[in-house]
């Protein structure tokens, strides 16, 4: 099919969409100048990031006017996420920046205090098709779930019901999850990140279909409010990536952050980097097994390597060719200097990862340093931290904070008046009943005078969109997650939290979801070694009435 174009205004991960289109057997051209938009026979606009920066970029590049002309021409158009939102008049995210105004209405921030839900809306949720008629729904399957990642949405409004193809409920709020009218189609969710269900939807659009039925043949329903939404919990597979002593890029796993083999009699591998496989192959295996997300933690950050040559960039590019669920990359997200002295800001580093196929970046040590400055400055935002700059350009949903804490036991709160303490059910080595969680940097090798609550609340204020909550005391123990730590963090922030460190059996996943209300749970070694297969975890959760995405094993 000729004439298929991608409108990339320069933000976020669009590589995954291109890979999805290629996977379906189609070639796609990139819009490089305004005239390309009008040359297109079919156009996809995958907006990623913030509404304001998207619209400003469209205007700056002189794309806005030809984009409206293309939509009005009757040629097939598909907008994704912010690409859908820009069709509306304005957004609360950037109230002084107008949208394209194709559809009346305002994009609004989710209510963070509705039903105690986390914002951003990040994960897999169902859609409810409101239009019924011949060939009307672009292959949307109401029995499947699709991947959402956004803080802003358009609430359902019956005054524009002729535009609304489907709605989704998050907490008690019902919002527009897809639109369709004449040649215009758009989704708030990301089909290119929604597994094979999303690829089927893309295939329907690419095959040339768009609705041209007489409106009289279409039945439009009203949405039904559910007593509980159908938002699912996420199971995340984590790959700790580093270079071994032979120079090979491998997935490893530590026991309490030690990734080297320990002595067992005359084991010739003693002291070697623990090798659990190749990153790209393992990521594809996890996708096939039903992982809802995949996280790469680059635990040595490939020091002394130019940014443009980072091995992790190639891993992301190759992985995104065959893995169609969200990818997060962590490690080395900070200001860096190449061996030749060239400076790269954290924003530049993140941009390289996004363009290579990452959907989110995870910030570790740099977040701790940023919080130290934030607290020293009486909690005034500087605007120049890695968290703030990346969130401003790509949206808060693109910024994950990876927390590496360890327990510090004390006899009483008076012993540590400057830190947030909890009373623990697991006494310390000397019978201590109180503890605080000290944040660490440099892969857990150095403790700082910052507690976890200070870190997560400060990072949320700076614009972070998610917390990846590790625990050094639990890492590699297979004894279950640190529920006390997770509950404490969940009470402190309104953004999503991923539980990490300690999973050893299926029951641990059900326990953390039931006892903490966390949005996602992550594991590494037990998945790598197939001690606990991902599908077994999901089957167990389903048997215990925990909503989880069903595996979609093939296209």
Annotated binding site for substrate: 332, 470
Q: What is the radius of gyration, based on Cα positions, of the chain?
A: 23
Exposed (0-12), middle (13-18) or buried (19+): which is 360, by Cβ within 10 Å?
A: buried
CB proximity list for 236: less than 8 A, separation 6 or greater: 291, 292, 293, 294, 295, 498, 520, 521, 522, 523
270 is catalytic: no
Alpha helices by DSSP H, listed for 267-333, are 279-289, 311-319
Q: Which of 407, 373, 404, 405 is nearest to 387 (CA)?
A: 373
Other beta carbons within 10 Å of 250: 20
| 538-544, long-range: CB < 8 A, 24+ apart | 538/235, 538/290, 540/506, 540/507, 540/509, 540/510, 541/233, 541/235, 541/506, 541/509, 541/510, 541/513, 544/510, 544/514
Is residue 376 a contact partner of residue 450, using CB atoms and an 8 Å limit? no
Instruction: List the binding residues.
Output: 81, 332, 470
Helix, strand or coil, per DSSP, at residue 394: helix
3-state SS, 22-35, equals HHCCCCCEECCCHH
Q: Choose the catalytic residue: 93, 173, 289, 404.
A: 404
DSSP category for residue 412: S
384 is catalytic: no
Q: Answer for the pair 499, 519: CB distance below 8 angstroms, yes or no.
A: no
Q: Are 358 and 329 in contact, with CB atoms under 8 Å apart? A: yes
Taking the alpha carbons at both ends of the chain, their separation in whole angstroms is: 21
**How far is the C-alpha of 141 from the C-alpha of 554, rounded, in Å?**
15
Alpha carbon 9 to its chain centroid, in Å, reads: 20
119 backbone φψ class: left, alpha, beta (φ>0; ψ -120 to 50): beta
252 forms beta bridges with: 240
Spell out the residues 6+ positions from residue 266 whose beta carbon is closer than 8 angstroms to its own.
none
Whole-angstrom distance, CA of residue 198 vs CA of residue 191: 4
404 is known as an active-site residue: yes
* Helix/strand number for the chain, H first, E second: 16, 30
Which residue in the list 240, 292, 460, 511 is annotated as catalytic? 240
Q: Which is the catalytic residue, given 81, 435, 459, 471?
A: 81
Using CA atoms, how far apart are residues 193 and 16, in angstroms rounded to an integer?
A: 8
Q: Which token pair is 318?
A: 């190759």
Is 292 one of the annotated active-site residues of the chain? Answer: no
Q: Residues marked as binding for L-glutamine? A: 81
> CA–CA separation, 551 vs 317, rounded Å?
24
Write down the residue that tokens 């606009």 correspond to: 45
What tokens were used for 145? 């779930």
Of the listed 173, 192, 321, 482, which one is catalytic? 192
Q: How far is CA 429 from CA 20, 407, 408, 488, in A?
A: 53, 11, 11, 22
Residue 215, classed as helix, strand or coil, is helix
Q: Which of 190, 419, 508, 528 is catalytic?
A: 190
Question: Which residue reads 């094979």 in tokens?
Answer: 196
Please indicate whether residue 439 is annotated as part of the active site: no
Active-site annotation, residues: 81, 190, 192, 240, 404
């Amino acid at each position: 099919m000729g004439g298929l174009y991608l409108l990339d205004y320069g933000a976020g991960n669009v590589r995954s969409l291109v890979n999805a289109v290629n996977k379906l057997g189609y070639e796609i051209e990139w819009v490089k100048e305004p005239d390309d938009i009008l040359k297109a026979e079919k156009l996809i606009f995958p907006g990623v990031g913030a509404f304001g920066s998207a619209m400003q970029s469209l205007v700056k590049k002189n794309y806005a006017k030809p984009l409206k002309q293309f939509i009005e021409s009757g040629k097939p158009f598909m907008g994704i996420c912010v690409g859908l939102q820009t069709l509306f008049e304005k957004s609360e995210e950037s109230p002084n920046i107008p949208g394209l105004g194709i559809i009346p209405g305002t994009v609004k921030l989710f209510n963070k205090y509705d039903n105690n839900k986390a914002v951003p809306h990040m994960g897999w949720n169902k859609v409810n098709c409101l239009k019924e008629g011949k060939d009307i729904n672009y292959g949307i399957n109401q029995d499947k779930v699709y991947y959402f990642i956004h803080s802003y949405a358009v609430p359902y409004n019956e005054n524009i019901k002729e535009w609304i193809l489907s709605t989704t409920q998050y907490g008690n709020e019902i919002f527009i999850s897809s639109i369709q009218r004449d040649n215009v189609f758009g989704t708030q969710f990301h089909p290119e990140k929604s597994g094979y269900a999303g690829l089927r939807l893309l295939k329907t659009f690419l095959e040339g279909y768009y609705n041209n039925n007489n409106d009289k043949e279409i039945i439009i329903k009203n949405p039904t409010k559910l007593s509980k939404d159908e938002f699912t919990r996420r199971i995340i597979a984590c790959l700790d990536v580093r270079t071994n002593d032979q120079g090979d890029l491998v997935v490893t796993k530590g026991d309490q952050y030690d990734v080297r083999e320990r002595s067992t009699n005359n084991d010739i591998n003693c002291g070697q980097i623990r090798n659990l496989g190749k990153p790209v192959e393992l990521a594809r295996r996890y996708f096939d097994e039903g992982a809802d997300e995949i996280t790469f933690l680059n635990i040595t950050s490939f020091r002394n390597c130019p940014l443009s040559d980072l091995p992790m960039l190639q891993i992301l590019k190759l992985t995104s060719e065959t893995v169609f669920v969200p990818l997060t990359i962590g490690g080395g997200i900070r200001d860096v200097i190449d061996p030749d002295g060239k400076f790269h800001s954290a924003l530049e580093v993140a941009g390289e990862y996004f363009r290579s196929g990452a959907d989110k970046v995870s910030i570790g040590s740099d977040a701790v340093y940023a919080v130290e400055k934030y607290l020293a400055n009486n909690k005034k935002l500087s605007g120049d931290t890695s968290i703030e700059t990346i969130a401003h350009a790509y949206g808060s949903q693109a910024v994950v904070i990876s927390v590496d804490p360890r327990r510090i036991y004390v006899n009483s709160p008076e012993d540590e008046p400057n830190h947030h303490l909890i009373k623990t059910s697991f006494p310390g080595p000397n019978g201590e009943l109180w503890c605080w969680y000290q944040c660490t940097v440099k892969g857990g090798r150095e403790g700082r005078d910052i507690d976890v609550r200070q870190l997560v609340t400060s990072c949320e204020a700076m614009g972070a969109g998610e917390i990846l909550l590790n625990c050094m005391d639990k890492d590699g123990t297979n004894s279950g997650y640190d529920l006390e730590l997770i509950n404490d963090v969940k009470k402190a922030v309104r953004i999503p939290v991923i539980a990490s460190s300690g999973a050893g059996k299926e029951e641990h996943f059900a326990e953390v979801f039931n006892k903490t209300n966390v949005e996602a749970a992550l594991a590494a070694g037990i998945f790598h070694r197939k001690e606990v297969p991902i599908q077994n975890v999901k089957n167990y959760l389903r048997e215990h009435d925990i909503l989880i995405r069903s595996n979609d094993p093939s296209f």
